[in-house]
Amino acid sequence: MNAAHWHRYFERNASRAELSPLPGWSGQEDVADATLEAVARTLARFYLGETGEGTVAAQAKAVANLDAHWVDSIRLYVAEEHRHGRELDRLLRALGHTTPQHHWSEALFRHGRRALGFRTKMLTIAAAEVVGVEMYSLLHEHVPGPIGALGALVAREERAHLEFQRDFFDEQLRGAGSLERVVTLAAFLGITACAVGTFVLDHGPLLDALGVSRARVAERCLSRVHEVLARGSRSEGTSWPPRGVHYEYVDSHRSL
């Protein structure tokens, strides 16, 4: 989709009702306490990522020749991430947890984004979306009740965010040289590998509680990347991924 299409998508989606479990809620009685604790620990980490990215929209305005629809779509994109943060905040409070102020993994990616400019920041956010889609999908698949419902909803929106990022870079790299496109792709894959590695190392308790192996999560993330890039390579006139780089995607797990 082009910038105007994405702008309409984000404007429409901004009107959806926010999920808002209240303190004292019920609905997770069938989930073991240890699982709920692991879920809360992971959601607290993701809360920090969902509430960040505030400078991206401002930086987009400074990008030369960036279509106004892209600029405003990025603003709405960030606002949608912040809505996820509010929903996680309410869910964490319903589980008896407070939201954290900082964590080493979030700080690592935040400093990495800031160090290398707008384009790398967008690539880093896209890499986080890959992990986010799979984490929220796992919640949907393995945790019943309100947590699974939130997982299904946010996973669907995070998948749309990945599609948005692919279309954004497709347009930004149209007309760019092969070297620039290959370097951008390599940067995305490298950052994504770091994001996946950080997730499987830092969120072992959640994966253990859900009975999902770390290798399986890495495989799912890789399949997600291949899916997004393969769709891009089949689009007429695409610049992303680079011409001459082809992807085969095999649906190795059930999509939502």
How do the residues of the chain divide into helix, strand and coil, expressed in percent and rounded to 5?
Answer: 70, 0, 30
What is the chain's alpha carbon radius of gyration, rounded to the nearest angstrom? 18
Q: What pLDDT does 67 receive?
A: 87
Count how many Cα atoms sit within 13 Å of the Cα of residue 150 in the half-sphere of its side chain.
25
Q: How many structural domains comprise the chain?
A: 1
Can you give the pLDDT at residue 109? 55
pTM: 0.83
Q: Is residue 17 part of a domain?
A: no
SS (H, E, C) 1-26: CCHHHHHHHHHHHCCCCCCCCCCCCC
- Give yes or no for a contact between 139 and 151, defined as CB atoms under 8 angstroms apart: yes
217 φ, ψ to 5°? -65, -45
Q: What DSSP assignment string belongs to 206-219?
A: HHHHHT--HHHHHH
Tell whether 203 is covered by a domain.
yes
Write down the pLDDT at residue 10.
96
Q: Which region, left, alpha or beta, applies to residue 117 given φ > 0 means left and ψ of -120 to 50 means alpha?
A: left
User: Is residue 53 in some structural domain?
Assistant: yes
Regions of the chain where pLDDT drops below 50: 236-237, 239-256
Question: Is residue 256 domain-resident?
Answer: no
pLDDT of residue 132: 96
CB half-sphere exposure, 213, CA atoms < 13 A: 3
Instruction: Assess if residue 129 is contained within a domain.
Output: yes
User: How far is Cα of residue 145 from the mean position of the Cα atoms in its chain?
Assistant: 22
pLDDT, residue 80, reads 93
All residues at 6 or more sequence positions from 167 whose CB lies less than 8 Å from its CB, including other chains? 1, 2, 6, 232
What's the pLDDT at 123? 92
Owning domain of residue 172: 29-234
pLDDT recorded at residue 5: 94
DSSP letters, 111-146, are HHHHHHHHHHHHHHHHHHHHHHHHHHHHHHHH--TH
CB 177 within 8 A of CB 114: no
Q: Can you give the CATH number for the domain in which 140 is found?
A: 1.20.1260.10
Q: Residue 143: how many CB atoms within 10 A of its CB?
A: 23
Residues in the chain: 256
> What's the confidence (pLDDT) of residue 17?
86
Per-residue confidence (pLDDT) for residue 255, from 0 to 100: 32
The DSSP string of 93-115 is: HHTT-PPPS--HHHHHHHHHHHH
The gap from C-alpha 22 to its chain's centroid, in whole angstroms, comes to 25
Give the model's pLDDT for residue 52: 62
